[in-house]
Amino acid sequence: MNPELFHADLEAKPSALADLAAWLEKEPLTLPEGLRRVVFLGMGSSRYAAGVAALRLRARGFDAYAEYGSAAATFPAGPETLVVPISATGGSRETLDALARYAGGPSPVVALTNVEGSKIAEGADQVIPMLAGEERGGVACRTFQHTLVLLLALESRLTGAARDIPELVRRAAAATSDLLDRRDDWLATALELLDGAHGVYAIAPAERMSSAEQSALMVREGPRRPADACESGDWSHVDVYLTKTLDYRALLFPGSRYDEQAMDWVRQRGSTVLTVGGHVEGERASIRYRHDDDPDVALLTETLVAELVAAHWWRAA
């Protein structure tokens, strides 16, 4: 792991997204017919992305689940069950162990990986490449973003939604470029507001929970600072208590109907909240970017704020 190379990986996000959009235009995803259940398998960032994908598919009537690769058991194989193992390196031990239960069975297996010819491909009927390029910093950042894109493409194919995924990816590339190009306007403020003695708390609605989880992971993985994630509505049941005793500093991704419920406590207790992509009453500052009114663009883009904060702290350390 290398902080300078991690920073370079972040800089390369827009161009990698542009390449992915072009590939998706030429290579539309194909899947077997008659599927009614989807089981995603993964760990870490892969499972974060899968959790959002599963929620979206359930809302469209599919049985869809995001399982830890390390879970001892999950749904049995069957021709109506699509199994989607996700591993950027293609070698995550837990995911490979989970995949072994399905390899050669009646369930179609479609693997997502960033490494051609990796171990995960051996047990798959089909492999979808992430096309994120080599992450020389050793941190899953572009692969996380590309995983989300490909899961949205799978959703579109499974549900027949006919989404223009390449256009969405181009909008996300423009949003990512905007944040990178204007970082001198917002990064110093973000670093100041989030730099507390008790870590960083990332908060997001269930539909974009991966943004909070990935943001917290970036703060833990690079600069090795304490960080945790919480869903916006659940916050009032599980994290509100911390505002009473800690120097509570949160990165909030607005969009939940329960944002105000959380902010009421924040205002009462004088906690620090930095918002990304929107405004809430009581925030200390807000970071806006191009197309941030589109929830799907936000899903693909907003973690860059925490990634750049983490890169700065990591380099400084």
Per-residue pLDDT, averaged over 139-167, amounts to: 95
Whether the per-residue pLDDT at 105 is higher than 90: the answer is: yes
**This model's pTM is above 0.95:** yes
Whether 29 has a pLDDT exceeding 90, the answer reads no
- Predicted confidence at residue 210, as pLDDT, reads 98
Cβ proximity of 4 and 315 under 8 Å: yes
What are 127-151's pLDDT values in tens digits? 999 999 999 999 999 999 999 999 9
- Beta-carbon contacts of 75 under 8 Å, excluding residues fewer than 6 positions away, are 37, 39, 65, 81
* Residue 1 confidence (pLDDT): 83
Q: Residue 28: what pLDDT? A: 81
Give the integer Cα–Cα distance in Å for 96 and 123.
8
CATH number of 182-316: 3.40.50.10490
Q: What number is the average pLDDT over the span 113-124? A: 95
- Mean pLDDT is lowest, of 156-165, 167-176, 219-228, for 156-165
Please report which confidence band the pLDDT of residue 83 belongs to, taking 50, 70 and 90 as the band edges.
very high
Residue 187 pLDDT > 90: yes
Give the model confidence (pLDDT) of 48-62 as tens digits: 999 999 999 999 999
Structure tokens at 40: 């995603």
- pLDDT tops 90 at residue 208: yes
Identify the CATH class of 3-164: alpha beta
Domain positions in the chain are 3-164, 182-316
Tell me: pLDDT of 162 over 90. no
pLDDT of residue 65 exceeding 90, the answer is yes
Q: Over range 21-41, report the average pLDDT.
A: 93
In this predicted structure, the answer to whether residue 94 has a pLDDT above a threshold of 90 is yes
Alpha carbons 209 and 131: distance in angstroms, whole number? 24
User: Where does the chain have alpha helices with state H?
Assistant: 3-11, 13-26, 45-59, 93-100, 142-159, 165-181, 183-194, 209-221, 235-238, 242-245, 259-269, 295-301, 303-316
